[in-house]
Copies of this chain bind each other. A is one copy, B any other.
Amino acid sequence: MTTSPPANPGAQPQAARQQFASDNLAGICPPALQSLLDANASGHQPAYGNDEWTQRASDMLREMFQTDCDVYFVFNGTAANSLALASMCQSYHSVLCSPVAHVETDECGGPEFFSNGSKLLVGENESPAARLGKLTPDAIEHMVTRRNDIHYPKPKVVSLTQATELGTLYSVEEVRAIAAIAKRRHLKLHMDGARFANAVAALGVHPSEITWRAGVDVLCFGGTKNGLPVGEAVVFFDRDMSQDFAWRVKQAGQLASKMRFISAPWVGMLEDDNWLRNARHANAMAQRLFRAIRELPGVQVLHEPQANAVFAQLPRRAIDSMHALGWNFYEFIAGGGCRLMCAWDTTEQTVDAFAADLATACAQAA
C-alpha cells in the first residue's frame, strides 16, 4: 500500500520471526492448506458456492453444531459481523454491545455502513464483568428501558464477543442469562466468534451449548485467526433470519466467485477436530506465557488468561526494550497495558524466548 520500494525487491522473503501482535500474523495451518490444494486439483468447479467443497464445508458445520443451520462463507470478520447485524435489524434500530466490542471499536464503522445507520449502543464499563470485557444482563436491561421514544434508535440486537476482546469468556450460564433477557425484550442475539474456537476449547463444551442451545441466533465463526488464509462463516441457527441472505452477501461484495478456495480450507480445518486442536494449542501457549511472566518485577497481569491472550501491564522501559529487540505486540491502552496474543502456530520456544527477554527487560527497568 505504500510507495517506497522494498529494500531488496527480488529477494525471497525469509520465514519471519513469530510475534505476539495478533493471531492473524500466522499463516495457513497444514490441513487447511492441504484442502485448498486438493480443491485446486479438482478441475473446473461451479462458481459462487455451487461447488462440492462448499457443500461439504456447510454440511460439516451443520453436523458439528448438530442442527440444520444455514451457512454462508464470507471474506472477513468485518463483513461477517456487519452483514449478520444488518440482517438482524433495520437502519433505525440499535445494537447493544460492550464498549470494547470489536464491532464498536475496530471496524471503522462497518456495522453502521452495512446497516445504513444502525447505531451501536455500548453498556457500562464499570462493573466487574464489564472490566473483563463482558456485557451483562443488567447493562442490556438498562439500555432497553432507559428510553422508549422514537428519537432513540430502537434496541433490536445484542452482540456478544466470544472469546471477548479482553481474552475472557462468557460461561454457558452467562450466555443463557443474556439470551433470556434478550428474549424477554424481543432482541435477537448475535455472537462475534472471531475466536469462537478458542472459547470452545477453553470452556470444554460442545459448540452447540454456547450457541443455539443457549439462545444464540447467529454466530460469526472465525476461521482466519485460527489458521485459515481468509474467510469466516456466518451461521444462522434460526433459518427464518437468513431469508434472502444470499442476495445480501452478493450485493455487498462478499460472494467469492471461486468459492471453493474459501470453503475448502474449512473442510481441512473441521476434519479431525483440527480447529479445536489449533485453538487448544494457542490457549495453552497463552497459559505458558502467563505463568512465565506473571511474577516478573513490574509486570501486572490484568486477569488470568481464559483464551489465547495475555493482557498485562508492563513497565514502560521494558516495553521499549522489547520493541527494540524486535518483538511486536500492541499496547491496547495508554500507560503500558499490553496484549500478548498467541496463535495456532506459536511455539513453546517463542514463548520462552519472549519471556526470557521480558525478564531481562523488566530487571533492567526496575
Interface residues of A (CB under 8 A from B): 1-3, 5-6, 9, 12-19, 21-22, 24-28, 33, 36-50, 52-56, 58-59, 62, 68, 70-72, 74-79, 82-83, 90-94, 105-110, 112-119, 146, 150-154, 224-225, 229-230, 244, 246-258, 261-262, 328, 334, 343
What B residues does A40 contact at CB under 8 A?
Answer: 27-28, 33, 229
Report whether B53 and A153 are in contact in the complex, using a CB–CB cutoff of 8 Å. Answer: no
Decide if B150 touches A246 in the complex (CB within 8 Å): yes
Q: Told that A13-B45, A109-B119 touch, could you supply 17 new A-B pairs with CB distance under 8 A?
A: A3-B68, A6-B56, A16-B43, A16-B44, A27-B41, A27-B43, A48-B150, A75-B75, A75-B256, A90-B248, A92-B109, A106-B151, A112-B117, A116-B116, A116-B117, A117-B117, A253-B254
Contacting pair A59 B250 (CB below 8 A)? no
CB-based contact A22/B47 at 8 Å: yes
* Chain B residue with Cβ nearest A20: B44
- Bound Cα distance A70, B3 (Å): 8
Q: Could you tell me the dominant secondary structure of chain A's interface residues?
A: loop
Residues of B within 8 A of A26 (CB): 44
Decide if B15 touches A247 in the complex (CB within 8 Å): no
Which residues of B sit under 8 angstroms from A79, Cβ to Cβ?
Answer: 253-254
User: Contact check: which of B14, B28, B83, B246 meets A1 at CB < 8 Å?
Assistant: B246
B1 touches A58 (CB 8 A): yes
Distance between Cα atoms of A55 and B94 in the complex (Å): 28
In the assembled complex, the Cα of A247 lies from the Cα of B283 at a distance in Å of: 32
Give the residues in chain B near A113, CB-CB below 8 Å. 91-92, 116-117, 251-252
